[in-house]
Amino acid sequence: MKRFMGAVVVAALAATGMVTQNPAHAEAGSWTPSWTFSVDILSKYVGGPNNILLYDKPVSQNNIRAQWKSGFYVNVWNSQILGTESPVGNAGNEIDYALGYAGKLGSFGFDISLNYFDLSAPKLFEFRGDIVQIGLELNRAFTFDEHTFTPYLRVEPSWVTAHAAPFGAYFHAGVGHRWKVNDFLTIADSARIVYDAGVYGMTEGYNARFDFSPVWKLTPELDLRFPYARYFVPLSHYGDGRKNELVLGAGLDWHPW
């Protein structure tokens, strides 16, 4: 794993021009990505589209994203338990990798990504029970004065490795909203409904999620999301104990360049 992560770092540095084999690459500005580093502390971990409570104690969830002017991006996301339980087989631990492209089709935006969800942390890449997923999204932004609304549709065909569970897909319909109150404060909120067609062999059904957070601009490079709230609502009757879940937390986003 250390060798793999080392290779990823070297590849990323080479792409940015910080490590090059040919000095001519350094003059190509398109090779230099913008970086965002995020750290979140949340009261518990509820799984995204299926609203499953994976860990009922605090977690640290961290993200590194590099995006190029061309639209290509690389994303690495990690969830780490903050409790004292054994990390072995603990669903609060997870590492997700994404390679994608975000661009424009006229007035519409789109996002295409290939994602790998390593659910076997800390024994990484056991290749049994992990998820390989394709993400396809179409969105459109509408701006009214200081408000921006972005409705979107997204589909996520998903395969579980080693045939540990049958094929399934998530279908999203949602809207994001940002209200720029002033130069120091933006209100960010969103709502979505997801149809789970049975990913990971789960019972198919509908789920809703609502997000709300003030975003405070501490410096030009540093944003604080506090207080942060996520509210998960299972809209279908699953019969597995799923219920409404409120997750509270805070996060920092650092985009140095």
Domain map (residue ranges) of the chain: 37-254
136: part of which helix (H) or strand (E)? Answer: strand 131-139
Cα gap 92→7, rounded to integer Å: 26
pLDDT at 122: 59
Q: What is the pLDDT of residue 235?
A: 97
pLDDT digits (tens, 9 = 90+) for 209-229: 999 999 999 999 999 999 999
228: number of Cβ within 10 Å: 21
Buried b (16+ CB within 10 A) or exposed e, 103-134: eeeeeebebebebebbbbbeeeeeeeebbebe
Looking at residue 5, its pLDDT comes to 38
pLDDT, tens digit (0-9, with 9 covering 90-100), for 51-60: 999 999 999 9
Banded model confidence at residue 44, pLDDT cuts 50, 70, 90: very high
**Pairing assessment for the beta strands 168-180 and 205-219 based on DSSP bridges:** unpaired
pLDDT attached to residue 87? 77
CATH topology of domain 37-254: Porin (2.40.160)
Q: Is the pTM of this model over 0.75?
A: yes
pLDDT at residue 16 is higher than 60: no
Instruction: Among 30-34, 137-141, 202-206, 214-218, name the one with the lowest average pLDDT.
Output: 30-34
Q: In Å, how far are 46, 53, 151, 237 from 241, measured between CA atoms?
A: 13, 10, 31, 9
pLDDT digits (tens, 9 = 90+) for 69-114: 999 999 999 999 998 888 777 889 999 999 999 999 999 999 999 9
Q: What is the pLDDT of residue 121?
A: 61
Q: Find out whether 133 and 157 touch, Cβ atoms under 8 Å.
A: yes
Query: How many of the other CB atoms lie within 10 Å of CB of 52?
Result: 21
Mean pLDDT of the chain: 88
CB under 8 Å to 179, separation ≥6 — which residues?
146, 147, 186, 187
| Residues 216, 222: Cα–Cα separation, whole Å | 9
Instruction: Give tens-digit pLDDT for 103-146.
Output: 999 999 999 999 999 986 656 667 778 999 999 999 999 999 99
Length of the chain: 257
Query: What span, in angstroms and rounded, lies between the C-alpha atoms of 166 and 168?
Result: 7
Q: What is the mean pLDDT of residues 177-187?
A: 98
User: In this structure, is the dihedral angle defined by the CA atoms of residues 78, 135, 227 and 241, taken in order, positive or negative?
Assistant: negative
If pLDDT is split at 50, 70 and 90, which confidence band does 17 have?
very low
Coil/strand/helix, residue 201: helix
